[in-house]
Amino acid sequence: MRSISIEDRAIELAHYIIDSKDTVRGTAAKYGVSKSTVHKDVSERLEKINPILAREVREILDENKAERHIRGGLATKLKYSKK
């Protein structure tokens, strides 16, 4: 990720998550930062910068969290169907 301020990074990550509905892990991989950085940016820092944007991201992160067990099950099914 290019050198930008932490606030700008948090906003950019938030817009990406909202537009793509991607997970924290996927966003971290795309931007070349850690999952912890993405989570802190969109959960804590963004709340202080832009609370409305933070709520939008929170909805997507909550949805991803609720679907997490389904994705894991599908990944396991795919893994064993290839054997």
pLDDT in tens, 23-75: 999 999 999 999 999 999 999 999 999 999 999 999 999 999 888 788 878 88
Provide the pLDDT confidence category of residue 1 given band limits of 50, 70 and 90: low
Q: Are 23 and 5 in contact (CB under 8 A)?
A: no
pTM score > 0.85 for this model?
Answer: no
Name the one residue in this structure whose structure tokens are 């301020």: 5
Phi, psi of 33 (to 5 degrees): -125, 170
pLDDT of the residue at 10: 96
Provide the pLDDT confidence category of residue 14 given band limits of 50, 70 and 90: very high
Return the half-sphere exposure (C-beta side, CA atoms, 13 A cut-off) of residue 8: 5
Q: What is the DSSP letter of 32?
A: T
Q: Are 53 and 8 in contact (CB under 8 A)?
A: no
